[in-house]
Chains A and B, each alone.
Chain A
């Protein structure tokens, strides 16, 4: 079946512009996660959604970052007034449900490579 898809695959933007990154999770997966992979910080958690519960936003680095998940499926990560330090690969992952007793596997998308000039 189809895996997690993300778009765009690459995004180049100018400092100060807003960007939107999209994630399509695997059908039927109720949990969705966003991570960021950057040279200086490695892989870091940003936000996750589980069904209709309030999202865990504890990893968002600033209030310029926000995310939503519509209809329990597609998610959009928005970065407002982008800064050069936002340059990174943004990864989306989904799992059947949030880390249950079986440690549900997170399936990752290919990522969106963001470059802020």
Chain B
């Protein structure tokens, strides 16, 4: 069975500071990895995803995440945050289709990390 652990429930930072949101996963097979973001009073939106290939993936708004297979981690980073980045961030995993079984496609989420950016 898969599981996802987000090590920090809340991360307060000042504007323009760097931030790292940590995510570790547990799975016996290869996985797809995702970061979703939920802005206040809005629905979940995909931020970025790792399927295969380059272990560093980037989003259009400056976030990046690196897949580390040996450490089973997929930490999210941004070198300089803005007030508008204040949101809850969820790490998620799913089985790829070649993993076998019938569970591929559905997402297993971490508990979420609330990022608060202060001026």
Which residues of chain A have a CB within 8 Å of any CB of chain B? 4, 31, 33, 35, 42-45, 48, 50, 56, 58-59, 91, 93, 95, 98-111
Contacts and interface: CB of A to CB of B under 8 A. Distances in A.
Contact of A43 (B43, B105, B112): B112
A108 B45 contact: yes
Contacts of B94: 99, 103
Given A56-B102, A103-B94, A110 B43 contact: yes
B43 A109 contact: yes
Name the interface size band of chain B. 20 to 34
B96 A99 contact: yes
A98 B105 contact: yes
B32 A99 contact: yes
A104 B49 CA distance: 10
Interface of B: 32, 34, 36, 42-46, 49, 51, 90, 92, 94-97, 102-112
Nearest to A100: B97
Nearest to A46: B106
Contact of A106 (B96, B97, B107, B108): B107
Contacts of B34: 103
A103 B26 CA distance: 19
A95 B102 CA distance: 17
Contact of B49 (A31, A44, A105, A111): A105
A44 B36 CA distance: 14
